[in-house]
Chain A
Amino acid sequence: MLLELSNISKHFGAIQAVNDISLSLEAGQVVGLMGDNGAGKSTLVKMIAGNYRPSHGTMRLNGRDIVLHRPIEARQFGIEIVHQDLALCDNLSAAANVFLGRELRRGIGPLRVLDYKAMYRRAGEIFKELRSETRARDLVKQMSGGQRQAVAIARTMISEAKIVLMDEPTAAISVRQVAEVLHLIRQLRDRGILVVLISHRMPDVFDVADRVVVMRRGRKVADKPIAETSPEEVTGLITGAIEGG
């Protein structure tokens, strides 16, 4: 099992954002994570990405307990995240955003300087791979929603990720771009990467996911292979019309 969450909870003061969730996730899977606004989806993936520490519970990666204090530690374990708000710096170039916190440098010892050329080149390659017309040197400020999305996704591709967490990657982009993001998700899965896809869009989840996990008010209410459920059932689970497990 690649990633195991056991009895994970997170509270912010009196708010119980995530309540006693256990999940076992395998490599080479796409897991759809669904739930109403405020169900705790973002909080759950942020704990996996090292943005928040769980209040309770444990995480195991490849059978080993891991405790993540900072996002950089999660990345060292091969865990990448695309945040819901994309978390980009408008004043920096696409390449600078892609490599933020993991800048390529050249030179020796303490005299190492940023390697602009290598970062532009590598970022350009990734955008090409994503079939995005995003240019590495352009400022994010000047970019369309789809291009910004490409920048956020490109970030997960500069290292050998094992787990990619995507928080609403298809919100606010065009239909064509949605198709490209879904295509990319399949590519990641085929490389043996575990993709956790948070989405409100039922068709997207039923299109690419192998499994769907439904959360309601911080709790996991369903966890099913996609073949054994239907959009109607998932909708019922999300709204609470159907009582889940």
Chain B
Amino acid sequence: MATTLHQTIERRQRTLGGTILANQTFWVLIAVILACIFLSFATDSFATAKNLYNITRNVTFVAIIALGMTLVIITGGIDLSVGSVLCLCSMVLAVTMHAGYGIETGIAASVATALVIGAFNGVLIAYLGFPPFVVTLGMLSVARSLAMVASNNTVVFEFGPDHDKLLALGGGAVFGVANPVIYMIVLALLTGFVLRWTRIGRYIYAIGGNEKAAIATGLPVRPVKVCVYMISALSAGVAGIIQTGWLGAVTTNIGAGMELQVIAAAVIGGGNLAGGVGTAFGALVGAALIEVIRNSLGLLGINAFWQGTFIGSATILAVLFDRVRNFRQSE
């Protein structure tokens, strides 16, 4: 009895240890930590309260969207429209508040915009069988153009009667932690919970693992897919709202190219574009690595032109690691 229990525990620990070591997110996390340790020693300005505050805050915008993107990627899809949706949602918020409406109305309008766009993407993809790449590429163009129409391509920096409330929402801090970081943590916990503990989370993985099987089993594949694109757009909208509050101004080029960073974060964190794999924690870790790279280049005095090279290489390296592991497994 004692031995069996002992053996069982040992076996479980071994598999648990094995799971962690075989986990891309774990290695990326190690990379982030090592980079932080290195930077603390190599520069005077990394481990300062101000810089850490900035890093954690800057991470959040990519990270929040990467949470939504991770859901899309787990189903085997992709959402290229998030950067533009962020811009449009920020602009809807800004224009609404600028017109004299309160912050609640502004946020409601912004969230509604995100949900409508997500539903539009989702219905085209899930019910009409459009490829996600094409639909969301189209939306990338449409959403940014609509933001230009809504603002007449001007910068909005006056947000009406609730101007200060909006700035506090995005720019404030609680106990030295920037508000956006708190939103990010709450949203990550929520996403992690949904993925691990709910049916819809289970179905999201099932769809990405084998969509045909999910259909044959009778899972609500189409509604789940629509849901996932709505959540992705919503995450972009929420990031837009927070970013507006932090920046205090909205231009029609915010979020340009952001989709690539977000996808990179999701993939670095362990999301697999073939579907079926990804976690909320991975999305955060991926976003963190990108931000640490960006931040460190500046601190180390490396020309900012190199940023793309480093972030791109990190993306490829992370996936290379996954390839090697799968290769070894299939041997």
Contacts and interface: CB of A to CB of B under 8 A. Distances in A.
Interface of A: 50-51, 70-72, 75, 83, 85-92, 96, 100-101, 103, 105, 113-114
A101 B210 contact: no
B216 interface: yes
A113 B197 CA distance: 5
Contacts of A100: 202, 206, 213-214, 217, 219
B209 A89 contact: yes
B216 A51 contact: yes
Contact of A50 (B205, B209, B218): B218
Interface of B: 196-199, 202, 205-206, 208-210, 212-214, 216-219, 276-277
A70 B198 contact: no
B277 A71 contact: no
Nearest to B15: A137
Q: Give the 9 A-B residue pairs with the shortest CB-CB distance, closest first.
A: A71-B218, A89-B209, A91-B276, A91-B209, A87-B213, A113-B197, A72-B218, A87-B216, A89-B210
Given A103-B199, A114-B199, A92 B216 contact: no
29 contacts: A71-B216, A71-B217, A71-B218, A75-B218, A85-B212, A85-B213, A86-B213, A87-B210, A87-B213, A89-B210, A90-B209, A90-B276, A91-B208, A91-B209, A91-B277, A92-B202, A92-B205, A92-B206, A92-B209, A96-B202, A96-B206, A100-B213, A100-B214, A101-B219, A105-B199, A113-B198, A114-B196, A114-B197, A114-B202
B212 A87 contact: yes
Q: Is the interface of A mostly helix, strand, loop or mixed?
A: loop
Nearest to A90: B209
Contacts of A86: 213
A92 B198 CA distance: 14
A88 B202 contact: no
Nearest to B219: A101
Nearest to B274: A91
A166 B208 CA distance: 25
Nearest to A105: B199
Interface centre among A75, A89, A92, A101 (most CB of B within 10 A): A89
Contacts of B217: 71, 87, 100-101
B216 A83 contact: yes
Nearest to B211: A89
A89 B208 CA distance: 8
A88 B213 contact: yes
Contacts of B205: 89, 91-92
Chain B CB within 10 Å — which of A51, A96, A100, A103 has the most? A100
A90 B198 CA distance: 19
A71 B199 CA distance: 17
Contacts of B212: 85, 87
A97 to B, nearest CB: 8
Contact of A70 (B197, B209, B210, B218): B218
B213 A89 contact: yes
A75 B210 CA distance: 20
A87 B212 CA distance: 7
A149 to B, nearest CB: 14
Contacts of B210: 87-90
A171 to B, nearest CB: 17
A87 B202 CA distance: 16
